[in-house]
């Protein structure tokens, strides 16, 4: 992963990021809200939660609503994104923000580690490394939930997904400039399939791994140590 390139891409769009999410994610509420709510069926309470690639705190917000008493650590390469997150959670004293590479600085001793639309930017060896780091840093009973962008196992079906997604975006109301910026960001995507991700998580050591939600290229996976 070219860390500087990723950071620059997301710094450029930080202020517009939230308002455009539904233009690019057709299943936004099912994805960010409903699929994440399954966490409460496993953990009634959480002590420390980390969000890897937290951006402006969209995923953190939904998990905070489930666990308002937890301590939150938001990690992202983009300082501009984190500045927006700081404004989102202004006045709350149970939040900390780290502008760093989460592969090199995976937080330890978290009940829950989460990530949304970040890990698919990593190369495959980096994906395996972060999954292994999460497993090693997490206490027994810890839970990792990842919302990410995946390719289909079949190239034919993946082409169908991409075509449908492009049509959706073209009719979402975004401007040509916004679409151009999105296409530029897509150049740093390194998608793999849900099946390959499950295999990576199992290789990292997680015994309980499941895809709990999937809509075309968007899926939520839960792994429990």
The domain spans of the chain are 3-224
Confidence (pLDDT) at 9: 41
Q: Is the dihedral of CA 173, 191, 196, 205 positive or negative?
A: negative
- Mean pLDDT, consecutive 10-residue stretches, the chain (225 aa), reads 47 54 92 96 97 95 94 95 90 95 94 97 97 97 98 97 96 88 87 98 97 98 98
CATH top-level class for 3-224?
alpha beta
CA distance 88 to 103: 25
Helices (H) and strands (E) in the chain, counts: 9, 7
Confidence (pLDDT) at 175: 87
Token pair belonging to 110: 């978290």
Confidence (pLDDT) at 22: 87
Q: List all residues 6 or more positions away from 72 whose beta carbon is below 8 Å from its beta carbon.
A: 48, 49, 50, 51, 60, 63, 64, 89, 94, 95, 96
Q: What angle do CA 118, 82, 183 make, to 5 degrees?
A: 45
**Which pTM was predicted?**
0.89
């Amino acid at each position: 992963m070219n860390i500087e390139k990723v950071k620059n891409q997301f710094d450029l769009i930080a202020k517009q990021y939230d308002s455009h999410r539904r233009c690019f994610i057709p299943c936004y509420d099912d994805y960010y809200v409903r699929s994440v709510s399954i966490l409460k069926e496993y953990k009634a309470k959480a002590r420390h939660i980390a969000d890897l690639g937290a951006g402006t705190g969209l995923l953190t917000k939904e998990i905070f609503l489930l666990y308002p008493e937890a301590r939150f650590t938001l990690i992202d390469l983009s300082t501009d994104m984190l500045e927006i997150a700081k404004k989102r959670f202004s006045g709350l004293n149970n939040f900390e923000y780290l502008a760093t590479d989460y592969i090199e600085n995976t937080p330890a001793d978290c009940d829950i580690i989460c990530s949304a639309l970040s890990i698919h930017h990593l190369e495959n060896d980096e994906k395996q490394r972060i999954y292994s780091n999460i497993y090693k840093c997490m206490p027994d009973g810890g839970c990792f939930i990842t919302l990410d962008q995946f390719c289909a196992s079949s190239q034919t079906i993946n082409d169908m997904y991409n075509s449908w997604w492009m049509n959706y975006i073209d009719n979402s109301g975004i401007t040509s400039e916004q679409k151009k910026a999105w296409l530029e960001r897509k150049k740093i995507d390194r998608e793999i399939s849900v099946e390959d991700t499950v295999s990576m998580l199992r290789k990292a050591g997680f015994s309980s791994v499941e895809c709990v939600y999937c809509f075309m290229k968007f899926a939520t996976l839960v792994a429990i140590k």
